[in-house]
Structure 1
Amino acid sequence: MAAACVTKVELTVSCENLLDKDVGSKSDPLCVLLMNTSGNQWFEVDRTERVKNCLCPKFAKKFVVDYCFEVVQKLRFGIYDIDNKSIDLSDDDFLGEFECSLGQIVSSSKLTRPLQLKNKKPAGKGVITISAEEIKDNRVVNFEMEARKLDNKDFFGKSDPYLEFYRQTETGWQLAHRTEVVKNNLNPCWRPFKIPLRSLCAGDMEKPIKVECYDYDSDGSHDLIGIFETNMKRLQETTRTAPVEFECINSKKKQKKSYKNSGVVVVKVCQITKEYTFLDYIMGGCQINFTVGIDFTGSNGDPKSPDSLHYISPQGVNEYLSAIWSVGLVVQDYDSDKMFPAFGFGAQIPPTWQVSHEFPLSFNPANPYCAGVEGVVEAYRMCLPQVKLYGPTNFAPIINHVARFAQQALQQNTASQYYVLLIITDGVITDMDQTRGAIVAASRLPMSIIIVGVGKADFTDMEILDGDDGRLKSIKGEPAVRDIVQFVPFRKFQNCPKEELAKCVLAEVPGQVVTFFSMMKLSPPKSNTPVDSPNGPTQK
């Protein structure tokens, strides 16, 4: 039985005296958090932002983890010097790591320890500090801010301003948020942004908040433009017609008689809203509709041959079945009727033996549903000997198929339905341009796509679809409005408990659900919504 999550904990990380791996500048560190709850399998929880040219970074992005009292949750904080755009850390310089349990951090609330290299020797004089705070408040503050007449700190061109927000703690000021940099502009208007209320002032409307305005420099020597202090009570006085303004003061310039300020920062919007969690939506009646798409292309090999990825062993397993079981068993708990549409693609199907890229495993287009994960597995076993594996490997038809039902659900204008498409495939996509377009269109719908790659093929294209490294764009240049694809190669989990694959491939779904409904400004359905509400538009 899964351990009950007691609470959520927010971890803030900073480092000092990191190793300098860059010639001619300083390291550009990033922190990655890995977790281990069983065996030797570590999975990535999240990463901070990269801080350029800095050996003593304070990371603005927080890690939010579920704290489960009954489980020893091992954590590994890895620090890397990032010098490229690849999401793979193996080609980046390793600056040190620290391992501990979440319980250790929680019980001490703030932990400072030396970083170690892989050989357990000290990583120079590098240390890491981790602060923990229980999350009890899911309110966020939405800001729209601009500035005017900021001091020019650049010899050539104009300043590149950004803001840093600090909250007051017992041990001093702690970084809560860093805005984007607006290039070459003394009158910047920053994109709307939001800061969790707990990060900004721990919910205390009169707790001091410090805002520092800097001129960004690529070498890491950012110049202070000015500072002001305020609190939420004052910030909330702003209105569209009467924005609140603050003078940016640089203490080094105050001695000058003619000095007035280093510019004015204008708060146009400061609005507190509640940010719902995945559990708010699920417990509020949102259904997760699960669809499976299985690759029946010829590159899988003859199912009768033990070398084939579709070969079912005497024990009754293959990689396709393992992926269906491990993901389906988790997802089915969020679907009240547990009826899952299951499709194949890339095969010649009876009776005409035409190639199809979205055929129901039941061969009944009027009823593609299978009863639970067991039903999907049974339909796959029955279908396999009746089709001829062929090609090509086209993803777009099945993505568009599910997107049609997600589109219908969207028109209900409630947060009651969300669609998850699991595609299991052995190889390279043939219709890459169409697939990219289908994913970009689907990013505007209540829908996520999980791709599990089986076999030993080169899955480079899949990494492109998984938009972790920059925003996916269609062939016409249209960007996805959010990242909805998670790709995992099955071979990484071959020797692990099946729960580990599910944890990894489903890790991003809760965030994707919340991001979508927040984007659409949809609250969870009322808590009195019947749990067995209809399963969304019927797939026919």
Structure 2
Amino acid sequence: MMRTPSSSTQPRALRVTHDGMSLFGVELSLSFSNFRPLPDSHGIRISVHLKDNASGGFLELSQTDTIFDLPSSSFSQKTTVPYRFDHPQILQFRAERIKDESLLVCGSEGIIEEPLATLVCSPVPHHLQFPTGLLISVQIRIPPSNNDYLRLRFVGEHIKSYNNFALGAYFLVVIVSEQRTYLLYKSEVIRTKEAKWASFRIPIQPLESSGSLQVHVMNDNTNNRDSLIGYFVTSMAQLMKGAGSHNTYMLMNASGARRSEKLLLELKSVERDSGPSFFDVMRSGCDLRPSIGIDFTASNGSPLDPKALHFIHPHAGNPYQDSIIANFSPIHLHMRDQRVSLLGFGAKVGPKLEMNNCFQLDPSSEYVLGLRGVIETYRRASLSLQPFGPTQYADVIYHTSQFAKASVRLNMNAFYLQVIFTDGCSNLSPRVVDALVDASFFPMAVLFVLIGSRIVREKEADNTRVLQNHPLKHSDGRVAPRQVALVLSESTGEDGLALIPLMISQWKNMISSISLFPPSSFNPSTKGAIVLSSPCRSGRGFPLLLRPFLQPSLIYLLLFLLQSLHSSKMKVALCLLLVPALASAGFFDDVSGLADGVGNFFGDNFKGVQSLVSGTQKDLEGNVGRVMDLLKGIKQKMPLLEAIANDSQRKTLRQVDGFLQQVTSFSNSVKSGGEQQFNQNKSKWTDMAKSLFETGGLNDIVKLIASQSATTSTCFIAAAVLPVVYLLR
């Protein structure tokens, strides 16, 4: 028998509210088992409480109905719980024994506390056991409205570039607030005046909770910052009116004036769609893997100085410690294990006090355990290093992005969050922007937490805006396709943490629209657009899923394991079986495809530096561009080329980044100098080409690529013979 409480104690109907894109309504239901009714207390009721972080006490959310004389059953009453990612929320469950239908409480089964994040991220009911043996099952239902998306398609009319660069139009959909702009979508580049972009989908939830939605049409400028063609402002309510005159927009320039009556963007279609939510991602088993980076540059002061941000007091915290606890606590509750990567930068470390911009605070371990381990290791390490400078974030970001890239190669379900605690974005170098753009193509986000009074300085404020402005453009021309960096400070409020669920679902939405892909699908030449390789290679049908497992390092590991076999014949047989598998998986094609990527220019007819001699300004620009494309292609295929290169060629491959920077800089000079400086640049180019191809060794790399492109059978035979010789020797 059950008894329903009075209307005053019934929970409210389920509804989803929005508070700065951070508040979600989730529905909690309870069931129980192992209850032992007694003559003087044969009823059971459970109350649900939520911890108030300000006071430390618990506030009652609801009570269930009361069930009598049953050892197990389910409560009919549901509880609406306000879930926030950016708050460390703890639920408390109190099980009370009820005497009879008078609903008098005559005893308790106990109290259990559990993080709400644990319950929300669990795809199955979560079981909690009280000291008396009573077992309750907690089930969280996520409202389907969290999966609501809008699918939109825009076309442009009379699109033109308002500078001397060739037309290459793409658009950005951004949410604009007083604190920040947030990138929801980046389109592909279209190089025609009558632009017809592909349809795309964006989540509805942030559109409902924000006031201003802007669409910025940009021009893709080669070797330069992209420029604004025009923009317009709209809203979800306006978009829902559908295609037609209601959603035909004349573009405005940066000052708000109309560009031209003919320069239009028109909404061609709009419809409701469904897509992944943050809850879907976490319930699919996604492992949230945070990494903390701490700024130890000299501007933070000495840990022995009471006025310093890093001052270590035996019985008190400091601004860094307090910020880590406040901002990392909510993230920590969403982790599947306790391991945290703890890094430092901007200090001299080690016995010789050598400058390092990315070092582990615990030299003996790659990870520390839990929030307590983070604080203890930070305090201990602060006293064993020498603050130095300058502030440089790139190494820390690149360190974490290596793991994010590896997780894609291995098809792991993980998302990496780099949280950088710093006293100000004082050195936003091009290398930092490059690191952020690289990270945007992989399951990773970067959160800058600014500490101390330096964040109010004009320079830090300007750099903060740059970090969150769009587009972020790599030095090689790629543009970040999604929001990858957020800045959290006193001036921006606490909504940075609240946006992390959106960043995670945004990554999932990006990859789900293109199915499964390897990292090689991110082609730098596409300027940030994602090109999907075929899921099954034509004519061979080898699943793309298996290709990441056949990369060089893992192949060598497999060959090493084969040594454990005692039979030489068995070794030979396994090697011969491995070779066609490699060929079918596209291992050799990945290398030979590089020759196609840079065209026939560097094929068999390439005669070295003499092929790059330029007679006109146009030829000079073209030859410089070809070498840039070659270097970008080599950089993209670097792991595979290193696997088949000799020692001399590997030495050249390690210099490719420097070569690319050198040629990119010269390309800018050629274009800015024009015909007036042609003869001078022609002479410089001839010397540079000799330095790169003859002295630097690029000729050997071109021959290596050409040999792979000429015939796959040569690679096939080599790959078959070498492992056999190696294993039988």
Give the TM-score of the pair, scaled to structure 1: 0.51
2:497 corresponds to 1:506: yes
> Cα distance 1:360–1:524, how it changes in 2: closer, same or farther (>3 A)?
farther
Displacement after TM superposition at 1:335 (Å): 1.4
Displacement after TM superposition at 1:349 (Å): 0.9
> Cα distance 1:298–1:221, how it changes in 2: closer, same or farther (>3 A)?
closer
Displacement after TM superposition at 1:508 (Å): 1.6
1:141·1:273 contact (CA, 8 Å) conserved in 2?
yes
Once the two structures are superposed, the pairs formed by residues 438-477 of structure 1 within 5 Å of their partners are: 438-457=435-454, 458=457, 459-467=460-468, 469-477=469-477
> Aligned residues: percent identity?
23
Once the two structures are superposed, the pairs formed by residues 136-151 of structure 1 within 5 Å of their partners are: 136=145, 138-140=147-149, 142-144=151-153
2:442 counterpart SS class: coil
> Cα distance 1:220–1:298, how it changes in 2: closer, same or farther (>3 A)?
closer
Letter in 1 for 2:376: E
Once the two structures are superposed, the pairs formed by residues 6-21 of structure 1 within 5 Å of their partners are: 6-9=14-17
Displacement after TM superposition at 1:344 (Å): 0.8
Q: Please, which of 401, 422, 425 is the counterpart of residue 422 of structure 2?
A: 425
Cα distance in 1, alignment partners of residues 314 and 205 from structure 2: 55
Match of 2:479 in 1: 479
Displacement after TM superposition at 1:524 (Å): 12
Q: More relative contact order in 1 or in 2 (CA 8 Å, sep 6+)? A: 1
How many pairs does the alignment contain? 323
Cα distance in 1, alignment partners of residues 273 and 311 from structure 2: 53
Match of 2:76 in 1: none
Displacement after TM superposition at 1:445 (Å): 0.9
Once the two structures are superposed, the pairs formed by residues 85-100 of structure 1 within 5 Å of their partners are: none
> Cα distance 1:334–1:299, how it changes in 2: closer, same or farther (>3 A)?
same
Letter in 1 for 2:500: V
Cα distance in 2, alignment partners of residues 217 and 406 from structure 1: 38
Please say which structure displays the higher CA radius of gyration.
2
2:522 corresponds to 1:488: no
Displacement after TM superposition at 1:518 (Å): 1.0
Letter in 1 for 2:196: C
2:244 corresponds to 1:212: yes
Deviations 1:378-434 (A, max 9, x none): 0011101111111121111110000000001112335x2001111111234446111
Q: Please, which of 382, 385, 388 is the counterpart of residue 386 of structure 2?
A: 388
Cα distance in 2, alignment partners of residues 70 and 34 from structure 1: 8
Letter in 2 for 1:192: S
Cα distance in 2, alignment partners of residues 524 and 198 from structure 1: 24
- The Cα RMSD (Å) is 4.7
Displacement after TM superposition at 1:465 (Å): 4.5
2:464 counterpart SS class: helix
Displacement after TM superposition at 1:276 (Å): 1.3
Cα distance in 2, alignment partners of residues 425 and 221 from structure 1: 41
1:448 counterpart SS class: strand
Cα distance in 2, alignment partners of residues 356 and 148 from structure 1: 52
In structure 1, stretches of 5+ residues that fail to align are 12-31, 40-66, 72-133, 150-161, 163-178, 201-207, 226-263, 494-500, 526-540
> Cα distance 1:10–1:189, how it changes in 2: closer, same or farther (>3 A)?
farther
2:146·2:277 contact (CA, 8 Å) conserved in 1?
no
Once the two structures are superposed, the pairs formed by residues 302-317 of structure 1 within 5 Å of their partners are: 302-313=302-313, 315-317=315-317
1:391 counterpart SS class: coil
2:325 corresponds to 1:325: yes
Displacement after TM superposition at 1:346 (Å): 1.0
2:487 counterpart SS class: strand
Cα distance in 2, alignment partners of residues 393 and 199 from structure 1: 34
Displacement after TM superposition at 1:321 (Å): 0.6
Match of 1:520 in 2: 511
> Cα distance 1:215–1:68, how it changes in 2: closer, same or farther (>3 A)?
same
1:442 counterpart SS class: helix
Match of 2:641 in 1: none
Cα distance in 2, alignment partners of residues 5 and 135 from structure 1: 15
2:404 counterpart SS class: helix
> Cα distance 1:445–1:392, how it changes in 2: closer, same or farther (>3 A)?
same
> Cα distance 1:265–1:320, how it changes in 2: closer, same or farther (>3 A)?
closer
Match of 1:176 in 2: none
Displacement after TM superposition at 1:377 (Å): 0.4
> Cα distance 1:344–1:223, how it changes in 2: closer, same or farther (>3 A)?
closer
Q: Please, which of 176, 196, 210 is the counterpart of residue 189 of structure 1?
A: 196
Displacement after TM superposition at 1:473 (Å): 2.0
> Cα distance 1:199–1:375, how it changes in 2: closer, same or farther (>3 A)?
closer
> Cα distance 1:34–1:222, how it changes in 2: closer, same or farther (>3 A)?
farther
Match of 1:99 in 2: none
2:345·2:392 contact (CA, 8 Å) conserved in 1?
yes
Q: Which runs of 4+ in 1 moved over 6 A?
A: 32-35, 195-200, 219-225, 264-267, 522-525
Displacement after TM superposition at 1:462 (Å): 3.9
Displacement after TM superposition at 1:517 (Å): 1.3
In structure 2, stretches of 5+ residues that fail to align are 1-10, 24-51, 55-79, 85-142, 159-170, 172-185, 208-239, 517-729
Q: Which moved more, 1:457-466 or 1:317-326?
A: 457-466
Cα distance in 1, alignment partners of residues 333 and 22 from structure 2: 26
2:152·2:267 contact (CA, 8 Å) conserved in 1?
no
Cα distance in 1, alignment partners of residues 514 and 12 from structure 2: 25
Greater strand percent: which structure?
A: 1
Letter in 1 for 2:401: A
Give the TM-score of the pair, scaled to structure 2: 0.38
1:312 counterpart SS class: coil
1:317 counterpart SS class: coil
Displacement after TM superposition at 1:140 (Å): 3.8
Deviations 1:100-124 (A, max 9, x none): xxxxxxxxxxxxxxxxxxxxxxxxx
Cα distance in 2, alignment partners of residues 273 and 265 from structure 1: 16
Deviations 1:70-89 (A, max 9, x none): 99xxxxxxxxxxxxxxxxxx
1:429·1:461 contact (CA, 8 Å) conserved in 2?
no
Deviations 1:251-292 (A, max 9, x none): xxxxxxxxxxxxx9977xx89753111011112211110111
1:419 counterpart SS class: strand
Greater helix percent: which structure?
A: 2
Cα distance in 1, alignment partners of residues 308 and 504 from structure 2: 36
